[in-house]
Amino acid sequence: MSPRHPPNAFRVGLIGYGLAGVAFHAPFLVTTPGLRLTHIVTSNPDRRRDAARNHPDARIVDSADRLWDAAAELDLVVVASPNRTHAPLTSQALALGLNVVVDKPFTTTVREALPLVSEAKRKGLILTVYQNRRWDGDFITLRRLLAEGALGEPLRFESRFERWRPVPRDNWRERGTPEEAGGLLYDLGSHLIDQSLLLFGPARSVYAELDRRRPGVQVDDDSFVALTHETGVRSHLFMSALAAHIGPRFRVLGTRAAYVKWGKDPQEVKLREGRRPDEPGFGDYPPEEAGTLGAAEDVRSVPTDPGAFKSFYEGVVQALRGLAPPPVDPLDAVSGLAVIEAARLSAAEGRVVQIERGAR
């Protein structure tokens, strides 16, 4: 079955209107040419009111079953619901012949993910995973510097998503059970792992420390993952809710130079503030947040390229039109899940875990 091609715009149903749906998906669904947000699924009364106010042209329904009743009116479904629901909802959407964008993490396990990839391929449907951090401005800058050979041969990649949040929030991501697939490894780790695999290729081994530091949490909130890539590059990935002093976002060491970048991509903050991604300069970094490149005392400032989260959904439109592959190959997300599973095993057993070649 081929993706459908409506005359004006692809009709989109959004499942979930929490933070992911409100801040990271809906703004792009209403500003990306070629997409039209027609349905929103949320059962929470307050969120239903917010959705109706913010998107008066969309139909608000209280369950995925109600959305499936309207499957003939849809071309694409965005799954932005809690992690444990990603696999069943994606499976249901594919069964109805709908193209799917799934928020990260793709699913909770590799075993859940692989049949979905196979089913989408069998039906000729678009299936992709929202790894928007591929379009962080500092990550775009780093990819460019590596492509230019500015660092020489890369040796070590240090990457951090750290926060100071000593009191956990009362939600499933922080206080839920492990079965909810909450915690930083699934949340921020999905991004850090995806970026490292995209930069340096498959990982052959994983070592991890997954800790629960704050009272009341049942999932990791202070974690470290070390990857050894098949290329020999080592990635050290840090994620924490208890970082009283935030480290550099990137420190990348090469045989010729190092790239160091502090600070966060500005797009997330703007989205959380309710700003639109089509406003001028949306992805621009302040000049003072440039990175540095060099060795020893010979270091120069490197302006950060603009971030471009919008590129993901622009890529979705191109894929739906049959003009390009999906912006994120779902098999990339499967490779990330294999690393997450290896990291969990490593932390539980206190050892380095090898990743089988077929899972890379």
Which tens digit of pLDDT belongs to each residue from 273-319?
A: 999 999 999 999 999 999 999 999 999 999 999 999 999 999 999 99
Q: CA 336 to CA 339: how far, in whole Å?
A: 5
- The identity of residue 136, as a single letter, is D
Percentage of the chain exceeding pLDDT 90 = 91
Across all residues in the chain, what is the average pLDDT? 95
pLDDT, tens digit, 9 for 90 and up, residues 157-198: 999 999 999 998 888 778 777 778 889 999 999 999 999 999
For 31, 65, 132, 183, the CA distances from 28, given in Å and listed in that order, are 5, 24, 11, 26
**Structural domain 133-307+339-359, CATH architecture:** 2-Layer Sandwich (3.30)
Predicted confidence (pLDDT) at residue 359 exceeds the cutoff of 70 = no
pTM of the predicted model, to two decimals?
Answer: 0.95
Does residue 97 have a pLDDT over 80? yes
Q: What is the pLDDT averaged over residues 257-263? A: 97
Per-residue exposure over 18-55, b if at least 16 CB sit within 10 Å of its own CB, e if not = bebbbbbbbbbbbebeebbbbbbbbeeeebbebbeebb
Hey, where are the domains in the chain?
Answer: 10-130, 133-307+339-359
CA distances in angstroms from 277 to 26, 147, 160, 266, 287, listed in the order given: 10, 28, 24, 11, 20
Residue 1: the pLDDT is 34
The yes-or-no verdict on residue 139 having pLDDT over 70 is yes
CATH topology of domain 10-130: Rossmann fold (3.40.50)
Q: What is the structure's pLDDT at 5?
A: 42
Nearest of 15, 132, 24, 127 to residue 82 by alpha carbon? 15
Domains 10-130 and 133-307+339-359 are alike in CATH topology: no
List of residues 6+ apart from 106 with CB closer than 8 A = 86, 113, 116, 129, 330, 333, 334, 336, 337
